[in-house]
């Protein structure tokens, strides 16, 4: 959309800014046979509201209403596409001949509505595309974009792109990845710090420094050929200050706090507990939901019906266009909660087997579980969000490995976190992770201790829920001693010219990096086919002697996991686990590949995780 903006003309203090640009239509198309068959098309063009727009006769399609707002540069066309409609092209005619436009109706892919979203059988691999791999040097800097490539600056653009991810697909498949979560690749035409992707300036266009809409679709196709799904990172709460909407709002209430940022007055409080707090004031609720993050990220008012509809359609459009298998929603709870209920419901009605995970950054499971589908909340709030992120477990794992063992420190923190699962309606649909793009890397948090990092990743890849791993964890990427996001989002080794180490080929990697890579690959590939890790019941035991032990139990398979924090090998009596271990059972050690008969004891190497597999269906 920003490419359509040609120039700002003279602005009067008491009138809307007058802008000159070509006609812009969003979405650019729709599909026949959709559950959501009534949509609203946003048309943006100078003084378009002063024109009469009509739909040329088309069997099965009706123009219900033309909505004009307080801004004459927008009209909203509400149409219904009935089952009688066939794929083709709608023609909209205006009283100004030059503003006629076409609107394609496309045929849906077969079984599109029944697509399978990511599940507990999957591992999502989180990538910051700008920092992963540069597959096309030609798009590092684009003349129409405000920020050019600057690889030497932490917060600058380094040149990674969608083509780089496409090139890496065989590597990711071999590693054992089954889903890709890319931080936003949509246009972020901001003057600086645009690489992270969360200041979107066009919700329907891939940033040209990342590639194109067609290339993003190609990534989805090629990923599926490797058995990998594509998860889109969506931002509903805010957008970039260089978006057309800032100077030319579709309605006067499109942006919260009248579209103005006043430091200290309308910045978000981040007090997320106000949403669930039965005693919270309306003032505090508004400060959290309506407040801006920063001046460069204006806060969207999802209570505006036309904006709400825009965001719902945008999500469904991308799922259908790019054949997505999931959505991750940034800063989930910051958006209006009634809108979030409508947004998730519309998507899940369109795609009943789809999955959406919301980011609710809290270590309090009582707050996180509020948002999961099926939760009976005290205030009557109903959510259709299938999955939430488990920040509680992430924090507990780091604490457990860094603390000495006692009655209230160490492994007991993990037990206490998982004991709160009674708050969640669907514990298998919770996303677990060791780190992500907004926090220090797990290897850094664990003091660059490889043994601890292996234990952390083994736990998170064998406990209940959906696993998510941050790119480069498999080769011990590290941001010590910095907490700067530019260091956390470090360049992936082998993805950029001039690097001495290459994770894709193994060239130049240290022995420890190779060991970690092998550990991760073993775990991820086991997850692909393990019924116990997919749907198996989690049974864990109170820590003993510095050991945390648990089992994943399904009809076909039992997986036993032992986390030994002791600095010496331990012969552990496991009679207390007999409820999940048949006597004289043979088990396969996942890491050593040795078969052993399980008796009353098991030998646990020092500072390590032991994973034993019992196939009970044989």
Distances in whole angstroms, Cα of residue 556 to Cα of each of 176, 594, 615: 22, 20, 6
* Pairwise CA distance, residues 106 & 30, whole Å: 6
Interacting residues of 493 by C-beta distance below 8 A, sequence separation 6+: 472, 475, 477, 499, 501, 502, 503, 508, 509
Average pLDDT over residues 64-70: 98
Q: How many CB atoms lie within 10 A of CB 564?
A: 24
Predicted confidence band of residue 4 (pLDDT cuts 50, 70, 90): very low
Q: Is the pLDDT of residue 359 over 70?
A: yes
DSSP 529-598: H-HHHHHPEEEEEEEETTEEEEEEE-SSEEEEEEEE--SS-EEEE-GGGTTTS-TTEEEEETTT--EEEE
* Pairwise CA distance, residues 46 & 256, whole Å: 24
Q: Per CATH, the architecture of 2-108 is what?
A: Sandwich (2.60)
Q: Is the pLDDT of residue 149 over 90?
A: yes
- State the Cα angle at 218 between 315 and 492, rounded to 5°: 90
Give the residue extent of every domain in the chain: 2-108, 114-187+195-529, 537-615
* Pairwise CA distance, residues 557 & 280, whole Å: 48
Q: Is the pLDDT of residue 281 over 60?
A: yes
Distances in whole angstroms, Cα of residue 3 to Cα of each of 7, 27, 231, 256: 11, 16, 27, 25
Tokens of 15: 């009138």
Tell me yes or no: is domain 537-615 CATH 2.40.110.10: no
The pLDDT value recorded for residue 22 is 65
* Pairwise CA distance, residues 586 & 577, whole Å: 15
Tokens of 74: 């927008």
Predicted confidence band of residue 578 (pLDDT cuts 50, 70, 90): very high
Q: Is the pLDDT of residue 236 over 70?
A: yes
Place of tokens 């503003």: 99
The pLDDT value recorded for residue 341 is 98
pLDDT digits (tens, 9 = 90+) for 91-129: 999 988 888 999 999 999 999 999 999 999 999 999 999
126 within 8 A of 474, measured Cβ to Cβ: no
Average pLDDT over residues 336-361: 98
Predicted confidence band of residue 151 (pLDDT cuts 50, 70, 90): very high
Average pLDDT, the chain: 94
Task: Give the closest residue to 245 by CA, choosing from 287, 286, 199.
Answer: 199
Q: Is the pLDDT of residue 193 over 80?
A: yes
Task: Give the closest residue to 101 by CA, choosing from 162, 27, 190.
Answer: 27
Q: SS3 for 473?
A: helix
- Residues designated as active site: 330, 359
Phi, psi of 268 (to 5 degrees): -60, 145
CATH of 114-187+195-529, one of 3.40.50.2300, 3.20.20.80, 3.40.1800.10, 3.40.50.150: 3.20.20.80
Q: Is the pLDDT of residue 565 over 70?
A: yes
Q: Which H or E run includes 61?
A: strand 61-68
Predicted confidence band of residue 521 (pLDDT cuts 50, 70, 90): very high
The pLDDT value recorded for residue 286 is 93
Percent of the chain with pLDDT over 70: 96
Average pLDDT over residues 513-534: 97
The pLDDT value recorded for residue 265 is 87
Predicted confidence band of residue 10 (pLDDT cuts 50, 70, 90): very low
User: Do the first three CATH levels of 114-187+195-529 and 537-615 match, i.e. the same topology?
Assistant: no
Tokens of 443: 């290897």
Average pLDDT over residues 456-478: 98
Q: Is the pLDDT of residue 191 over 70?
A: yes
Task: Give the closest residue to 524 by CA, choosing from 230, 173, 133, 165.
Answer: 173
Q: Is the pLDDT of residue 20 over 90?
A: no
The pLDDT value recorded for residue 5 is 30
Predicted confidence band of residue 609 (pLDDT cuts 50, 70, 90): very high
Tokens of 146: 């405000």
Percent of the chain with pLDDT over 90: 93
Helix 412-419 vs helix 391-402: angle between axes, to the nearest 10 degrees?
Answer: 160
Q: Is the pLDDT of residue 9 over 80?
A: no
Place of tokens 């076409």: 102
The pLDDT value recorded for residue 8 is 27
* Pairwise CA distance, residues 193 & 174, whole Å: 33
Q: What is the DSSP letter of 57?
A: P
């Amino acid at each position: 959309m920003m490419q359509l903006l040609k120039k700002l003309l003279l602005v009067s203090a008491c009138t809307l800014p007058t802008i000159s640009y070509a006609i812009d239509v969003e979405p650019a198309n729709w599909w026949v046979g959709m559950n959501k068959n009534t949509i609203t098309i946003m048309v943006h063009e100078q003084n378009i509201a002063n024109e009469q727009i009509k739909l040329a006769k088309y069997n099965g399609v009706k123009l219900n209403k033309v909505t004009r707002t307080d801004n004459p540069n927008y009209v909203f066309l509400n149409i219904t596409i009935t089952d009688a409609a066939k794929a083709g092209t709608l023609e909209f005619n205006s009283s100004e001949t030059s503003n006629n436009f076409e609107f394609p109706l496309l045929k849906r892919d077969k079984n599109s509505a029944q697509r399978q979203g990511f599940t507990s059988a999957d591992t999502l691999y989180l990538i910051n595309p700008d920092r992963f791999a540069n597959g096309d040097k030609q798009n590092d800097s684009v003349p129409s974009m405000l920020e050019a490539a600057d690889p030497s600056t932490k917060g600058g653009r380094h040149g990674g792109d969608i083509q780089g991810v496409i090139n890496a697909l065989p590597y990711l498949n071999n590693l054992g990845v089954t889903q890709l979560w890319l931080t936003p690749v949509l246009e972020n035409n901001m003057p600086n710090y645009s690489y992270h992707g969360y200041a979107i300036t066009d919700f329907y266009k891939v940033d040209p420094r990342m590639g194109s809409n067609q290339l993003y679709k190609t990534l989805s196709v090629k990923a599926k050929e490797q058995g990998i799904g594509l998860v889109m990172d969506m931002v509903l709460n805010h957008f970039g200050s260089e978006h057309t909407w800032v100077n030319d709002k579709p309605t006067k209430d499109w942006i919260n706090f009248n579209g103005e940022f006043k430091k200290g007055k309308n910045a978000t409080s981040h007090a997320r507990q106000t949403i669930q707090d039965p005693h919270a004031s309306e003032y505090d609720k508004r400060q959290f939901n309506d407040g801006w993050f920063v001046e460069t990220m204006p806060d969207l008012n999802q209570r505006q019906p036309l904006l709400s509809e825009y965001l719902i359609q945008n999500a469904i459009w991308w799922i259908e266009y790019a054949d997505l298998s999931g959505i991750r929603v940034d800063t989930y709870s910051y958006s209006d909660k009634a809108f979030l209920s409508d947004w998730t419901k519309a998507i899940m009605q369109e795609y009943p087997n789809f999955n959406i995970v919301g980011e609710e950054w809290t270590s309090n499971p009582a707050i996180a579980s509020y948002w999961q589908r099926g939760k009976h909340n005290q205030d009557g709030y109903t959510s259709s969000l299938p999955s939430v992120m488990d920040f509680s477990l992430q924090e507990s794992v780091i604490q457990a490995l860094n603390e000495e063992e006692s009655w209230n420190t160490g492994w007991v923190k993990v037990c206490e976190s998982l004991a709160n699962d009674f708050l969640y309606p669907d514990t298998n649909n919770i996303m677990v992770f060791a780190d992500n793009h907004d926090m220090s890397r797990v290897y850094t948090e664990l003091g660059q201790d490889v043994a601890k990092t292996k234990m952390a990743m083994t736990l998170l890849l064998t406990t209940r829920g959906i696993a998510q791993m941050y790119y480069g964890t498999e080769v011990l990427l590290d941001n010590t001693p910095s907490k700067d996001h530019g260091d956390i989002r470090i360049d992936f080794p082998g993805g950029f010219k001039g690097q001495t180490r290459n994770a894709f080929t193994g060239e130049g990697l240290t022995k420890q990096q190779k060991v970690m890579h092998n550990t991760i690959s073993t775990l991820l590939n086991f997850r692909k086919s393990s019924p116990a890790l997919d749907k198996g019941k989690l049974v864990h035991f109170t820590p003993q002697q510095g050991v945390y032990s648990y089992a994943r139990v399904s009809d076909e398979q039992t997986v036993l996991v032992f986390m030994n924090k002791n600095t010496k090998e331990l012969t552990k009596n496991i009679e207390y686990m007999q409820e999940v271990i048949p006597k004289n059972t043979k088990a396969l050690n996942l890491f050593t590949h040795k078969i052993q008969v399980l008796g009353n004891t098991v030998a646990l190497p020092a500072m390590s995780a032991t994973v034993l597999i019992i196939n009970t269906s044989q």
